Structure 1
Amino acid sequence: MITVATDDEGYLLNLDDWSEAVALQIAQSEQLGLTDAHWEVIHLLREFYQTFELSPAMRPLVKYLSQHLSPEKARSIYLMQLFGESPAKMASKIAGLPKPTNCL
């Protein structure tokens, strides 16, 4: 088990602590198994953060994914099937990014 510092909600305090092993550990703590479909979104989410220096809320996330994936994979329903009812929030946590500002 890897030990990394997190806030009260489980988001990494130091973004440099992220690795795929840490992502797997976070996902496991959320009772979520990661498939290739999850990793595809996680890696694009990290790319978004590197480009814009913020974690996207749902609407910007869907728009960004639509530019990089098929239309079916850039839909709220698809993301909810992967990450639950708050996909932008959960995917950001697993990707080692801060909580999106517009997510409760």
Structure 2
Amino acid sequence: MTFVLDGKTFETNEEGYLTDPSDWSIKIAEFMAYEDNCCLTENHWVVIHLIRDYYREHQVAQGIRLLVNQIGKNLGKDKANSRYLYRLFPEGPAKQACKYAGLPKPTGCI
């Protein structure tokens, strides 16, 4: 599957994940979210950047527990829980956040 943004064609797999993570940009994330009827807020961006930073360092998406701990450090302990992440990413925090972050679908996601 493909989509065109700013005159450039980008390829995705059948689930909408970028096939080349190096193609990622903020505009692409915003486009994907728009297509999903989602408006990315500052808190979404914190999660997206945490996921991208972890992936850049470890070449794998982090687990939810680690992500929740990082959220607590960055956004406060009141947001350090999976319910908060599901409010931001109702299709599943790992799955949907990785998609918007331009990363492959995490293993173990259905």
Q: What is the Cα deviation at residue 4 of structure 1?
A: 1.1
Determine what percentage of the aligned residue pairs are the same residue. 44
Q: Please, which of 19, 25, 40 is the counterpart of residue 19 of structure 1?
A: 25
- What letter is aligned with 2:107? T
Q: Please, which of 7, 19, 38 is the counterpart of residue 13 of structure 2?
A: 7
8 Å contact kept, 1:61–1:88: no
Q: Which runs of 5+ in 1 are unaligned?
A: none
- What letter is aligned with 1:87? P
Q: Which has the higher contact order (CA 8 A, sep 6+)?
A: 1
2:65: which partner in 1?
59
- What letter is aligned with 2:89? F
- What letter is aligned with 2:16? G
> How many residues in Structure 1 have an aligned counterpart in Structure 2?
104
Q: Which runs of 5+ in 2 are unaligned?
A: none
CA distance in 2, matches of 1:44, 1:68: 9
Q: Please, which of 35, 45, 50 is the counterpart of residue 29 of structure 1?
A: 35
Q: Please, which of 82, 92, 106 is the counterpart of residue 86 of structure 1?
A: 92
- What letter is aligned with 1:29? E
8 Å contact kept, 1:42–1:94: yes
Structure-1-length-normalised TM-score: 0.89
CA distance in 2, matches of 1:66, 1:32: 23
Q: What is the Cα deviation at residue 67 of structure 1?
A: 4.4
8 Å contact kept, 1:12–1:96: yes
| Higher helix fraction (1 or 2) | 1
Residue 102 of structure 1 pairs with residue 108 of structure 2: yes
RMSD: 1.5
